[in-house]
A and B are shown apart, each in its own frame.
Chain A
Amino acid sequence: MKKIEAIIQPFKLEPVKEALKTIGIDGMTITEVRGHGRQKGHKEVYRGQEYNVDLLPKMKVELVVADARLEEVLRALTAAARTGKIGDGKIFVYDVAEAIRIRNDDRGETAL
């Protein structure tokens, strides 16, 4: 099992959800986050005082998939989240040791 952690543009959340749904992935966890990589921030001015806002709003999408489906899911995800401009975000993939469905103690890939 692999955990996919994707940091994406907030307005790409809907297309990503849609793309995952079409390949049969229903479960995911979403967090509103702020951050930046190479993307520069922007300037905001409050009563003449300038503020450099370098941490920009992003969405973090987390989901765990079976090993066999990893590439397919990554392809769908990147295609849906890409604009081609700086600030599109990053995807990290981790190994997952175990998954447990709390309701009935299912374990491993059946718990996904």
Chain B
Amino acid sequence: MKVLAFAAFCAMAAAQTPPTLDARLSAVESAAKSAQSAGDNGWMLVSSALVLMMTGPGLALFYGGLVRKKNVLATMMQSFILMAVITVLWAVVGYSLAFGEGVPVLGDFRYAFLRGVGSAPNTDYAATIPHQTYMVYQLMFAIITPALISGAFAERMKFSAMLLFTVLWALIVYFPMAHMVWGKGGLLNAALGGRFPCFDFAGGTVVHITSGVSALICALYLGKRIGYPHEQMRPHSIVLSIIGACLLWVGWFGFNAGSALAASGLATSAFVATHFGAAAATLGWTFVEWIRTGKPSVLGAISGCVAGLVAITPASGFVEPFPALLIGFIAGVVCYFMVTLVKHRFGYDDSLDAFGIHGAGGTVGAILTGIFATSLVNDSFKDANGKPLALGWVDGNPGQMVNQLIGTAIAWVLATVGTLVILKIVDGLVGLRVEKDHEIDGLDLSLHGEEGYFLET
């Protein structure tokens, strides 16, 4: 028995020739590639989860705390239900319309029903992670963007109207805008052959300008809440809002650093810029408010933080830490004046300041990105000789400002026109506002048949 086994071993050893150098090299290469892929995919799956966490519970708590307690559930539901609605829409056509290579302003149907979106990477977008990871990561952005708008129509919109509005809004505003900036062949795409290359690392135009401007249109179209502004409509729980803001801050690392689409140095740089922007904006808002009103409010501090996160979003993968501080600080101050002075001057009821923070902060960020973007941070744009291209004004490329303004203008116009059309349609089909009695009773009871708090039972 032993002899037989020894003979078999010898035969095997003789059959095995030593591997060539080429074979060993390619084995090492494929091992390195799979290690990188594992690292990148790990980070991107975590980032996807972090971005979903921004909507629920982050935004749900942030907005939920700011409304009156009779509307807390309805407000949180608007964020929560979108986690379901947009997901289904995304699977059916959304991903394809945003990221299929169609025409410069909209994708095609090549990925409809997620056809061909599997574990093999899509090398146009992210060469080291499964296409499916990229798809699900981008989905989380599509969820939070319409959820942001809900801050403008809080406390007065019908649930049915809200659902219809957001589905149409995703189709008419978000998917085209995402395609223009990030889709292959998109009009504004800086990396994949856009006509006007606009730098938007993680969604300043796509997410924040579109949602913020649409929010303003919604607030104007729906009109004020009953009793606004002479009746007191104090936030019912700043405690909930501060928890929400902290979750947003953390989740934003997935939003911005994840937009590097790899666990790379660029991801670290975006992470740092994001954090610094949030910190400086918090201080900016707080100081201005302290000087002007005599008290540094908690709601002010967390609002400033969100404003900074919004403004640093387009810049995060392009700017160094100190410009990030400056961008954040400017956004904190600008957004403070937007929600205190400008809103009251014009008298629109942007209930939770979706426009004042996301519209204004997003615009500030998009423009400042054109100034501070530098190839020292992001050298992925190269000329024919492989030399990194100058990016923003600080790199000696002031012309980039024009592209940034074009991207900003397109986002403003698309959001304004698209939202107006959608509101008209929805108003005609189901009506936008709840009945007066329902608004007075609160949406929790009248729309959902529940109450948020039952402290005596």
Interface residues of A (CB under 8 A from B): 11, 14, 34, 42-46, 53
Among B227, B449, B456, residue most surrounded by chain A Cβ atoms (within 10 Å): B449
B445 at interface, CB cutoff 8 A: yes
Q: Within the assembled complex, what's the spacing in Å between the Cα atoms of A11 and B456?
A: 21
Contact (A46, B231) CB under 8 Å given A11-B440, A34-B456: no
Q: Are B449 and A14 in contact (CB under 8 A)?
A: no
Q: Within the assembled complex, what's the spacing in Å between the Cα atoms of A42 and B445?
A: 9
Q: Are B451 and A14 in contact (CB under 8 A)?
A: no
Q: Within the assembled complex, what's the spacing in Å between the Cα atoms of A46 and B444?
A: 13
Q: Are A14 and B450 in contact (CB under 8 A)?
A: no
- The residue in chain B whose Cβ has the minimal distance to the Cβ of A12 is B440
- The residue in chain B whose Cβ has the minimal distance to the Cβ of A43 is B449
Q: Within the assembled complex, what's the spacing in Å between the Cα atoms of A46 and B448?
A: 10
Q: Which residues of A contact B227 (CB under 8 A)?
A: 11, 14
Contact (A14, B445) CB under 8 Å given A34-B456, A44-B450, A44-B451: no
Q: Within the assembled complex, what's the spacing in Å between the Cα atoms of A53 and B440?
A: 18
Can you list 15 A-B pairs, Cβ within 8 angstroms, ordered by A? A11-B227, A11-B440, A14-B227, A14-B230, A14-B231, A14-B232, A34-B456, A42-B445, A42-B449, A44-B445, A44-B449, A44-B450, A44-B451, A45-B450, A53-B451
Min Cβ gap B363→A in Å is: 36
- The residue in chain A whose Cβ has the minimal distance to the Cβ of B439 is A11
Q: Which residues of B contact A45 (CB under 8 A)?
A: 449-450
Q: Within the assembled complex, what's the spacing in Å between the Cα atoms of A11 and B440?
A: 7
- The residue in chain B whose Cβ has the minimal distance to the Cβ of A9 is B440
Q: Within the assembled complex, what's the spacing in Å between the Cα atoms of A11 and B228?
A: 13
Q: Within the assembled complex, what's the spacing in Å between the Cα atoms of A109 and B188?
A: 75
Min Cβ gap A46→B in Å is: 7
Among A42, A44, A45, A46, residue most surrounded by chain B Cβ atoms (within 10 Å): A44
> 4 tightest A-B contacts by CB?
A14-B231, A11-B440, A44-B449, A45-B449
Min Cβ gap B409→A in Å is: 42
- The residue in chain A whose Cβ has the minimal distance to the Cβ of B231 is A14
- The residue in chain A whose Cβ has the minimal distance to the Cβ of B227 is A14
Q: Which residues of A contact B451 (CB under 8 A)?
A: 44, 53
Tally of contact residues, B, Cβ under 8 A? 10
Q: Within the assembled complex, what's the spacing in Å between the Cα atoms of A17 and B82?
A: 39
Q: Which residues of B contact A43 (CB under 8 A)?
A: 449
Q: Are B450 and A46 in contact (CB under 8 A)?
A: yes
Q: Which residues of B contact A46 (CB under 8 A)?
A: 450
Q: Which residues of B contact A42 (CB under 8 A)?
A: 445, 449
Q: Which residues of B contact A44 (CB under 8 A)?
A: 445, 449-451
Q: Within the assembled complex, what's the spacing in Å between the Cα atoms of A53 and B457?
A: 12
Q: Which residues of A contact B440 (CB under 8 A)?
A: 11
Q: Within the assembled complex, what's the spacing in Å between the Cα atoms of A45 and B230?
A: 34
Q: Within the assembled complex, what's the spacing in Å between the Cα atoms of A53 and B445?
A: 11
- The residue in chain B whose Cβ has the minimal distance to the Cβ of A55 is B456
Q: Within the assembled complex, what's the spacing in Å between the Cα atoms of A14 and B456?
A: 24
- The residue in chain B whose Cβ has the minimal distance to the Cβ of A18 is B230
B410-451 contacts to A, CB under 8 A, are: 440, 445, 449-451
Q: Which residues of A contact B449 (CB under 8 A)?
A: 42-45
Q: Within the assembled complex, what's the spacing in Å between the Cα atoms of A42 and B230?
A: 30
- The residue in chain B whose Cβ has the minimal distance to the Cβ of A11 is B440
Q: Within the assembled complex, what's the spacing in Å between the Cα atoms of A46 and B230?
A: 35
Min Cβ gap B439→A in Å is: 9
B212-233 contacts to A, CB under 8 A, are: 227, 230-232
Q: Within the assembled complex, what's the spacing in Å between the Cα atoms of A42 and B438?
A: 13
Min Cβ gap B142→A in Å is: 30
Q: Within the assembled complex, what's the spacing in Å between the Cα atoms of A34 and B456?
A: 10
Q: Within the assembled complex, what's the spacing in Å between the Cα atoms of A64 and B128?
A: 75
Q: Which residues of B contact A34 (CB under 8 A)?
A: 456
Min Cβ gap A67→B in Å is: 32
Q: Within the assembled complex, what's the spacing in Å between the Cα atoms of A30 and B440?
A: 19
B64-88 contacts to A, CB under 8 A, are: none
14 new A-B contacts at CB < 8 Å, known A11-B227, A14-B227, A45-B449: A11-B440, A14-B230, A14-B232, A34-B456, A42-B445, A42-B449, A43-B449, A44-B445, A44-B449, A44-B450, A44-B451, A45-B450, A46-B450, A53-B451
